Homo-oligomer: A and B are copies of this chain.
Amino acid sequence: MGAIRWPGYEGEAHVGRYQAGIETEARIIDATRSLLAEGGLEAATLKAICDRAEVRAGSFYNLFGSKEEAILQVVREAIDAVDPDPTHAGTDTVDDLVAAYIRFFEEEPQLARIYVLAGVAGEPSDNGSRRRFLRHHETRVERFADAMVRDTGLTEQDAEVQAELLLGALDGLAVRWALDTEFAFAAYAKLARERFGTE
Contact = CB atoms under 8 A, between A and B. Distances in A.
In the complex, the count of this chain's copies comes to: 2
What's the dominant secondary structure at chain A's contact region? helix
Contacts of A179: 119-120, 122, 130, 133-134, 137
B123 A176 contact: no
A122 B180 CA distance: 11
A178 B116 CA distance: 13
A120 B37 CA distance: 12
A39 B168 contact: no
Nearest to A180: B134
Interface stretch (A63-71, A146-154, A187-195): A187-195
A29 to B, nearest CB: 21
A190 to B, nearest CB: 11
